[in-house]
Amino acid sequence: MGTFLMTELTLRVYRDIGSEALRGDFRAAMEAKGYYAFFGFIEDLRATLKRYEEEEKDEVGKLLGQCRTDFPNLSRYSPSWERLWDELTSIYEAKNEALAEVPLSERDGEWQVLIDNPYTPQQVVCYPGLGFADAAYLYAYFQQDLKPNEYLRLQKVTNVAIKTGSKEVSMFPRD
């Protein structure tokens, strides 16, 4: 097994592996390192899902499928990850739907994601000030657990007024 695999168990290294045998070595090294190494790997994969754009969607889909094949039993790392591949695949598919719905020419500017259920006393949840890739990711992420009567909105902000408080904060007493 190459020493690069033992010292750097990252998604970047995994993406560069060209052979099935080396992917097997990578998997064995990951299994030996355990939860914390795999946690970092998964966080890198989530970041990839968050930032990919339309031209990268096929490559990211292939990567996700390869990860699922090479690491089929995630409960060996954590019981809470038993359905992680289904979750990440769901996010990938829903983000691709958002990419397909919003033309590339309209993706610039500020976006926000809003979650509301008008039949409950809970407050509206809003994630403002996002770029399109981040907003599309959150829109895809929150689709997984929508409750009855909840709605999820991905919307572009066309006009915005921002006001911040003007309370002065001082750490030292004034004379």
For 149-165, how does the pLDDT look when each residue is reduced to its tens digit (9 = 90+)? 899 999 999 988 888 88
In terms of domains, do 86 and 108 share one? Answer: no
Q: pLDDT at position 4, please? A: 47
Where in the sequence is the domain holding 42, given as residue range(s)?
Answer: 1-101
In terms of domains, do 97 and 108 share one? Answer: no
In terms of domains, do 53 and 95 share one? Answer: yes
Q: pLDDT at position 5, please? A: 46
pLDDT(81) > 70: yes
In terms of domains, do 86 and 125 share one? Answer: no
CB distance 9 to 55 below 8 Å: no
Top pLDDT among 18 and 66 is at 66
Top pLDDT among 9 and 174 is at 9
Q: pLDDT at position 119, please? A: 85
Whether 167 is in a domain gets the answer: no
Q: pLDDT at position 145, please? A: 87
Q: pLDDT at position 160, please? A: 83
pLDDT tens track for 90-123: 999 999 999 999 999 999 999 999 999 888 888 8
Q: In which band, very low, low, confident or very high, does the pLDDT at 1 lie, cut at 50, 70 and 90?
A: very low
Number of independent structural domains in the chain: 2
In terms of domains, do 125 and 90 share one? Answer: no
CB distance 91 to 49 below 8 Å: yes
